Homo-oligomer: A and B are copies of this chain.
Amino acid sequence: MTAPTLRPGGRSARVQESIHSAVRQLLEEQDRASLTVPQIAARAGVTPSTIYRRWGDLSALLADVALARMQPDNDPTHTGSLRGDIRAWAEQYLDEMSSEPGRNMLRDVQAALKPSYCATIIGGQLQTILDRFPNEPVPGVDRLINLIAAPIVFRILFSEAALEVEELHRLIEIAFSQ
């Protein structure tokens, strides 16, 4: 990630937020391929050189925005059971990542300085769920990532069709039957 140490509310953080927000708005209005730095700068009310100085080029900025969007808006849903929580999380993740913005996010984020931050975000979410059930025997977070998040992402990027929900459920069962 390019700018992890920004003091929230500082001038630099506000400039960054207005640029991120301009990118998000423009991505809703137009095709990603037609997006330009001067256009983003105009929308954010900054000069293009502010963007070039901070990110270097458009793909680095898009990667940064994608990474920020990977941060979930809220805590994983509570369903009352461990498997239920994992299922709900996995179904939402499958849903979000298979969407057009999700696919673009997965591609953009690979140009980020630390795409590995993805696994950290996912791991944090899964750990939050596991921590809710301290007395149940649970698979490790790394195993859950390998069995659940990896097939979702792999199928989106390198396969004809997204992972079927039935197979997703079976993979979750497999994770818990070890």
A120 to B110, alpha carbons, bound, how many Å? 23
- In the complex the two chains form, is A167's CB within 8 Å of B150's CB? no
A155 to B143, alpha carbons, bound, how many Å? 12
Chain A: residues with Cβ within 8 Å of the partner, total of 28
25 A-B residue pairs with Cβ-Cβ distance under 8 Å, sorted by A, are A107-B110, A115-B157, A115-B158, A116-B159, A118-B159, A119-B154, A119-B155, A119-B158, A119-B159, A142-B167, A145-B159, A146-B147, A146-B151, A146-B163, A146-B167, A147-B147, A147-B171, A147-B174, A149-B154, A150-B151, A150-B155, A153-B154, A153-B157, A153-B158, A174-B178
Cβ of A160 within 8 Å of any chain B Cβ, yes or no, is: yes
Q: Mark A39-74, 1 if CB is under 8 A from B, else 0.
A: 000000000000000000000000000000000000
